[in-house]
Structure 1
Amino acid sequence: MEVAKKNIFNIFIIICWVIVVPVIAYTSAQEVKYTALLIGGVVGISVALISVLNYRAGYFISCTVALTVRLLERMSGTEIPVGVLIDAILLITLVGSLLKQEDNNIKKVDFLRDPAIITFYIYGGYILLQFFNPAFVYDRHGWTTFARVYVRNMVAMYLVMRIVRNMDDLKFYLKFWIIMLTIAAFYACIQQWFGLMPFEKAYIARYPEKFKTVLILTGIRIFSFVSDPAVFGVIMACGCIINIVLLTSSMKLISPAKKAFLVFSLILQFMALGFSGTRTAYIMVPMGLLIMVFVNMRHRNTIIGALVFVMAFLVLMFGPFHGNSTVIRMRSAFSGSEDASLNVREVNRHRIQPYIFKHPIGGGFLSCEPGSGSELDGFPPDSGYLRTVLEQGLIGLTLVLINIFIMMRYMVSNYFAARTETEKQFTLVILCVMFAIVVSMYAQESSGLIESALLYYGLNGITIKLKYLLSSPNITS
């Protein structure tokens, strides 16, 4: 039977090549746009096949595409439906994971009774009910967009739960993000030191509405190869936290050579964080490290790392760097009422409070976007929580906060349930990064953009899976 299947597969491959080769030869001889279309089709089919045959590779391909596709968009000079592209890859990867029946590791998760997963179900039901929200009865575009993004995030979270089967898988997951964020930071430093590439300048000139926050009084906010400076700053802050927490590990867990790379990565990411001009991200790093100090204060490496960070922070805040625009932007994040733009945000929040109390289910998804036609048309929420309460009402905000509380509780429990140093350090990384993201959502829509959402929901999936893995006798392999 197996021999017959193998022969049928080989015959199928031969037939495909007999058909494809002449098509490639003919299309390549046509106009350039058809050649580009052909290349895109070949790459797309290859990615689809890889994702079906190896869903783990498919997931990391989807993350890589999400982080780098904006660079291809700018190089081509035209808009790419990024969300649809990522959705397609994730759905194909999901099909591949469901076909992998011999992988029974996911059966450890109780999808019917787990409290955290139930909160996701309830929130998903609330999204369905929002379809009947009378505030946007004449426009369903916001609902369809938000629902599609929610499904994408749930698929990504499920795939991560399938991918992470033990500590080795979690180690690979963290390595992937460290490497990708280091590459992004390196490219950001090139943009800062040598200026934006010609194709990037041309793209900004063609689509200026996408880059309203790039040009500020202190200079250009760097965005690397992701969508905008805000999300770039958020993921750079997450990368800094990951590196710092791992640097507090013993030499037995992380060798000196690997620690040297983490230091190199940290330097690049910290500089890139400054170049992004994202003040919320500046606050994320100390918030994440604050949790690390609280739960790990008895360890010498943690105390040394905390002291080094405090000294660097004091030098940054009070050192003689009065002409550097990046340092000025960083200092403004901690200046409180001295910063005018932050005061404007507070004024907007107080001004919109009557609307919140009058609309318990909100004004509808994406009603804050310009052109929505709602009462909130063009209102700048500048906060993930504020956007939630405006568009989904106090009910939606309550559901989100309950979910965050349960997830944070899981993370703390996972840390104290960990037995080995590897387990403790990796669970601590997740706890610190997630706490920083949760804090950042007060002033930034950190979990709403594709790049940061993949990391946010990925860590959520890992947290749920670790709850079950840490109760197993051996999860190291």
Structure 2
Amino acid sequence: MPYLAAVIWILAVPLIAYLSAMEVKYTILLMGGVIGLSLAGISIFNYRIGYYIAITIALTVRLAERMSGTELSVGVIVDGMLLITLLGSLINADDKSIRKIDFLDPLLVTFYVYIGLILLEFFNPAIHDRHGWTTFSRGLLRNFLFMFLVMKLIRNMDDLKTFFKFWIVILTLAAVYACFQQWFGLLPFEKAFIARYPEKFKTVLILTGIRIFSFMSDPAVFGLLMACGVIMNITLLTSSKALVSIRKKILLIISMVLQFMALGYSGTRTAYIMVPMGVLLMVLINLKNRNTIIGLSLFVMAFLVLMYGPFHSSPTIIRMRSAFSGSEDASMNVREVNRHRIQPYIYSHPIGGGLLSCEPGSGTELDGFPPDSGYLRTALEQGWIGLILVMINLYLLLKYAINNYFKSQTEAERQFALTTACVLFALTVSMYAQEASGLIESAMLYYGLNGIVIKTKYLSTTNVTQ
């Protein structure tokens, strides 16, 4: 495999030199093709590396889009890398632990039933056309393939450690870039892209300033992922020195601070609530841990300072406080009015109005309705039957995640199970006001954690490198 990559690069050198003399865009196109072929070759021969390459591309491809100044087929790029990685995983059958999984497990059965409902939605009489069904089904298939890859990826605690290490590192890099955007302003190519495609950035410009989005698609999904990163760091900081050394804890603290600042800069109020929700579950599950009590005390103190401290001129802190102001926030009140207004429609449509029928231009009765909630969108587009299936799935998912913690035999197993449960609970809460599982970037983490919960239940051996 390394020889194949070397040959490709050697052949590319004279071609690049020749095309560079002709036109710049052809050089860029060729360079992209060479890099893409190299990554594809790596992904086929080593699907574990391929999985992380696919995730990295999905998280950073928007930056390449903005630098190019034109829209890219992001979904096609991500799907292409995912399918190549999946092919590599099927060719490489080194994971024997996947055979331990009972594919008639109740949690997996809920996924099968849900897929059946999605297939049924194709015949929904309320649908104006089938384009929404095709788009939604493609995204759902992508998410399930990511979940399956993680189930193959995780063979032991070392693989699980690598998974969380990767996400912490890439989210920290995203936080660093976000801080740069906040402190020094958006780069020229970012401003030019916003000016060229203003419809993509309707939620970026608000009264209190610019909502930071780092190298991701928008501030909302960026904020959700920053909240997940903060929760990961907090839970891992409660580990003993034997599992996480003092040096690593210092790095986790630096990562957490950067992510928390970036979270504030994103202006995503749902994400502000996710962090205390994740911490709450951590405390309820792990209350006997001394480090948990210390961490909780520090968190409560920091929260009180932010909420009631003498900071009245910072737009970031003002918006953060508005997330906990309840009925005092006008936009939240508008959402509540919309939810009550649309309830009769939900009761009268057991399988909803059709997939993506809330999107503008759908031509349905729900055309342009702002659900502002993953659960409300499910109830509207898939009916109360779909909402019930989703709630059963979430109940089993969290039940399994918590059970994995209490069945753990080592501290490493307990800490990773705790981290998984806390992040999943926070994402579950976030879906009340956002659509975390429907956005490409956050869906990859959400369904990856789904795969971890399922696989961890069936892992009976531990192989941890301290």
What TM-score, normalized to structure 1?
0.95
Aligned to 2:321: 331
Q: Quickly say closer, same or farther: Cα 1:38–1:70, change in 2 above 3 A.
A: same
Give the Cα separation in 2 of the matches to 1:341 and 1:384: 17
What is the Cα deviation at residue 25 of structure 1?
A: 4.6
Letter in structure 2 aligned against 1:125: G
Letter in structure 1 aligned against 2:97: N
Aligned to 2:439: 449
Q: Deviations over 1:133-164 (max 9, x none)?
A: 1111x411100111101110111001001111
Letter in structure 1 aligned against 2:421: L
1:264 to 250, 254, 265: 254
Q: Which runs of 5+ in 1 are unaligned?
A: 1-5
Q: Does 2:343 match 1:343?
A: no
Letter in structure 1 aligned against 2:69: G
Q: Does 2:138 match 1:148?
A: yes
Letter in structure 2 aligned against 1:43: I
Give the Cα separation in 2 of the matches to 1:103 and 1:290: 36
2:194 to 174, 193, 204: 204
Aligned to 1:409: 399
What is the Cα deviation at residue 106 of structure 1?
A: 1.3
Give the Cα separation in 2 of the matches to 1:465 and 1:475: 15
Aligned to 2:106: 115
Correspondence list, 1:178-217, <5 A? 178-217=168-207
Q: Quickly say closer, same or farther: Cα 1:275–1:20, change in 2 above 3 A.
A: closer
Q: Deviations over 1:47-95 (max 9, x none)?
A: 1111100000110001101111111111111111111111110111001
Aligned to 2:124: 133
Give the Cα separation in 1 of the matches to 2:411 and 2:6: 51
Give the Cα separation in 1 of the matches to 2:407 and 2:457: 9
Give the Cα separation in 1 of the matches to 2:427 and 2:359: 23
Give the Cα separation in 2 of the matches to 1:72 and 1:410: 38
Letter in structure 2 aligned against 1:27: L
What is the Cα deviation at residue 371 of structure 1?
A: 1.2
What is the Cα deviation at residue 26 of structure 1?
A: 3.8
Letter in structure 1 aligned against 2:75: G
Give the Cα separation in 2 of the matches to 1:135 and 1:56: 42
- Equivalent position SS for 2:288: coil
Give the Cα separation in 2 of the matches to 1:476 and 1:122: 36
Q: Does 2:464 match 1:476?
A: yes
Q: Which runs of 5+ in 2 are unaligned?
A: none
What is the Cα deviation at residue 103 of structure 1?
A: 2.9
1:239 to 229, 243, 263: 229
Correspondence list, 1:345-384, <5 A? 345-384=335-374
Correspondence list, 1:413-428, <5 A? 413-428=403-418
1:291 to 281, 305, 311: 281
Letter in structure 2 aligned against 1:406: L
Letter in structure 2 aligned against 1:33: K
Q: Does 2:379 match 1:399?
A: no
Q: Is the 8 A contact 2:5 2:41 kept in 1?
A: no
Q: Is the 8 A contact 2:12 2:34 kept in 1?
A: no
Q: Does 2:97 match 1:105?
A: yes
What is the Cα deviation at residue 43 of structure 1?
A: 1.2
Correspondence list, 1:273-288, <5 A? 273-288=263-278
Give the Cα separation in 2 of the matches to 1:279 and 1:13: 45
- Equivalent position SS for 1:321: coil
Q: Does 2:199 match 1:219?
A: no
Give the Cα separation in 2 of the matches to 1:265 and 1:276: 16
Give the Cα separation in 2 of the matches to 1:23 and 1:324: 53
Letter in structure 1 aligned against 2:175: A
- Equivalent position SS for 2:429: helix
Letter in structure 2 aligned against 1:131: F
Give the Cα separation in 1 of the matches to 2:108 and 2:33: 37
Give the Cα separation in 2 of the matches to 1:61 and 1:285: 28
Q: Is the 8 A contact 2:8 2:38 kept in 1?
A: no
Q: Quickly say closer, same or farther: Cα 1:245–1:474, change in 2 above 3 A.
A: closer
Give the Cα separation in 1 of the matches to 2:285 and 2:59: 32
Letter in structure 2 aligned against 1:83: G
Aligned to 2:291: 301
Q: Which moved more, 1:121-130 or 1:330-339?
A: 121-130
Give the Cα separation in 1 of the matches to 2:356 and 2:243: 46
Aligned to 1:3: none
Q: Is the 8 A contact 2:156 2:461 kept in 1?
A: no
What is the Cα deviation at residue 400 of structure 1?
A: 0.9
Letter in structure 2 aligned against 1:318: Y
- Equivalent position SS for 2:438: coil
What is the Cα deviation at residue 17 of structure 1?
A: 8.1
Aligned to 2:74: 82
Give the Cα separation in 1 of the matches to 2:50 and 2:461: 30
Q: Does 2:44 match 1:58?
A: no
